[in-house]
Amino acid sequence: MANSDLAIGVDVGGTKVLGGVVDSSGKILKTFRQETPPQGGSELNKTIANVITELQKTHDTKAVGISAAGLVSSDRATMLGAPNIKDWDGVNISKALREICRVDAIVENDANSAAWAERVYGAGRGAENVIMVTVGTGIGGAAIVDGRLLRGANGTGAEFGHMRVIPDGELCGCGIRGCFERYASGTALVSRTKAAIAKDPAAGKTLLSYGDGTIEGLIGNHITQGAQSGDPISLAALEVAGDWLGAGIATLAMLFDPAIVVIGGGVGDAGELLLAPARRAMEREMPFAGKHPVPEIVLAKLGNDAGLVGVADLARN
């Protein structure tokens, strides 16, 4: 007989498929990982099924959730658009898994899954109104309103990264110009830092030493390391990133009125070097300044496990 307190969460990324058995306290009891097949599509479905089957050998559970980046249908079955995975657009993942391994699974957007985990077990624990902004290569988003995930009419709500902040601004991968993620993401942070180094190569020498010594080899983690060591270019770049982030959060706060804004993603590793300027910008840009309560901005607590843990809980419930 299946244990109703246990659920399997599977986090599907561009390089790995990581599954885990999660109990009702959010603890991961066992994991199993396989590489994401580069051809995606049906081969990826088989890989996910194999991960689930492997975990079910030792833990008898029927609740299964799949977390993946992209647009998910409102019935939590079909991947409408998967930007990082080949041949997965329009695929009914739930149906495919039912046919391969006789498992009924829900599918959820990765940011929604992570936000749910943070709300139940992490930085937003106990709050009924939470938004999460994941700052990585792009900007991901999720909103929990009155204790429920906001999905929208088509299951694609809360894609904060693609709200327009600059009319006729920089072209985004989504096809429109001026998106939030073009200015506040990790990609924007790296581009801005590279431009600063190109203007003053001597000033950027220390920062580039964290990588291979070239501008091309610079990544976001190097900027965080530089800022933590007091590098002026890194500190300035994170200040600008935080400023954009906080201004965007001010708009989101007016839309959703959250008690807490959870910041996740790799750029969040910069901690207060990102959050402090974000808080200042949010308060500066908040409409009805001094009258509209401002939400608390906090760092996510669950790290890379959030998507897996969150989707397992959603499947269980």
79-94 confidence digits (pLDDT tens)? 998 877 899 999 999 9
CA distance 306 to 235: 28
Q: What is the pLDDT of residues 112-159, one digit of tens each?
A: 999 999 999 999 998 999 999 999 888 989 999 999 999 888 888 898
Give me the pLDDT at residue 186, please. 94
**Beta-sheet pairing, 130-135 with 260-264:** parallel
Of all residues in the chain, the percent with pLDDT exceeding 90 is 86
Question: Other CB atoms closer than 10 Å to residue 202's CB: what's the count?
Answer: 7
| Mean pLDDT of all residues in 295-307 | 95
| Mean pLDDT of all residues in 212-233 | 95
Under the banding of pLDDT at 50, 70 and 90, the label for residue 53 is very high
| Mean pLDDT of all residues in 197-205 | 94
Under the banding of pLDDT at 50, 70 and 90, the label for residue 20 is very high
* CA distances for 302 relative to 59, 263, 291, 299, angstroms: 23, 11, 33, 9
Q: What tokens were used for 137?
A: 């290569």
CA distance 115 to 133: 9
Whether residue 1 is predicted with pLDDT greater than 60 in this model: the reply is no
| Mean pLDDT of all residues in 255-264 | 96
Q: Which of 5, 107, 31, 3 is nearest to 64 (CA)?
A: 107
Residue 42: φ, ψ to 5°: -65, -30
Q: Which of 131, 141, 188 is nearest to 162 (CA)?
A: 141
Give me the pLDDT at residue 83, please. 79
Judging by beta carbons within 10 Å of its beta carbon (0-12, 13-18, 19+), is residue 154 exposed, middle or buried? exposed
Q: How far is CA 41 from the centre of its chain?
A: 22
CA distance 63 to 204: 51
Residue 204: φ, ψ to 5°: -90, 0
Q: Which residue has the tokens 């999905």?
A: 151
CA distance 115 to 130: 8
Checking phi first, is residue 199 left (phi over 0); if not, alpha (psi -120 to 50) or beta? alpha
Q: What is the pTM of this model?
A: 0.92
CA distance 311 to 309: 6
Give me the pLDDT at residue 306, please. 95
Whether residue 179 is predicted with pLDDT greater than 60 in this model: the reply is yes
| Mean pLDDT of all residues in 261-277 | 95
Mean pLDDT across the chain: 94
Give me the pLDDT at residue 2, please. 67
| Mean pLDDT of all residues in 15-25 | 96
Under the banding of pLDDT at 50, 70 and 90, the label for residue 193 is very high
